[in-house]
Amino acid sequence: MSRDPRKSRGWRNRNPGNIEHNPANKWQGLDDPPSDGRFCRFRSHTFGIRALAVLLITYQDRHGLRTIEGIIRRWAPPTENDTPAYMAAVSQRMGRGLHDTLDLHRHADLRPLVEAIIAHELGGQPYDDATLDEGLRLAGVVPDQPAGVMHTGTARAAAGTAAAGTAAVALVQPLAEAAAQAAPALAALRELSPLVAVALIVAVAAWFIWQRARRGA
């Protein structure tokens, strides 16, 4: 029969990774007292999840561990754990191979690993999605954003381009009207200097723009 994870030591300590207390490690959110005699105690479950996530990221960044096998061997050494069984449970829950490469700066890799470790440590997964994501957010990892323009400068650039396009239409349209209506008169100017012709075209266009502005168009 499975045990209730909310009756576990890790749940009571709000330390779902069962991280051992070391006074040298100044974890954010430590409670007072910071230890139950062996394991850290946190003020909230989100701080406990954060500590678990930060420690896993450190395994990758400082020790180069990027597979389930390498991470769990360090997390749960054989001296006091059934490490192969732990690795197998995490691999099965994540649906990833023991030697698959993970990127623990990505929510899509870190959260399933955090969930699997919590489930193994507490004997079940007692946290909802919002609590897990908040703990990871405190660790600096947020859900992966879809590939698109909404989270880049592209959206802002597109909006600016659209605004500029609207302004351009407002200017070009009367210019086109001016050219069309002035064409018969300008036909007689073919023999004049190109500079003179251009000046006359600009003058006629300016007159049309002024007329439209006066009408409030």
The long-range contacts involving 57-66, CB below 8 angstroms and separated by at least 24 positions, are 57/104, 57/105, 57/110, 57/139, 57/141, 59/104, 60/102, 60/103, 60/104, 60/105, 66/101, 66/102, 66/103, 66/104
Which alpha helices (H) appear in the chain, and where do they start and end? Answer: 9-12, 45-63, 68-75, 83-94, 107-122, 129-138, 153-186, 194-215
Using CA of residue 157, residue 162, residue 163, residue 164, what is the dihedral sign?
positive
Residues 97-148: tens digit of each pLDDT = 999 999 999 999 999 999 999 999 999 999 999 999 999 999 999 998 775 5
- Provide the angle, in degrees to the nearest 10, between the axes of the packed helices 68-75 and 45-63: 120
For the whole model, what pTM was predicted? 0.68
Percentage above 90 pLDDT, the chain: 64
How far apart (Å, rounded) are the C-alpha atoms in residues 199 and 193?
10
- End-to-end CA, the chain: 78
Q: Is the pLDDT of residue 2 over 70?
A: no
Task: Give residues with Cβ within 8 angstroms of 109, minimum separation 6.
Answer: 102, 103
Please name every residue paired with 35 in a beta bridge, in sequence order, or none if there are none: 40
Q: How far apart are CA 177 and CA 181, in angstroms?
A: 6
Top pLDDT among 15 and 193 is at 15
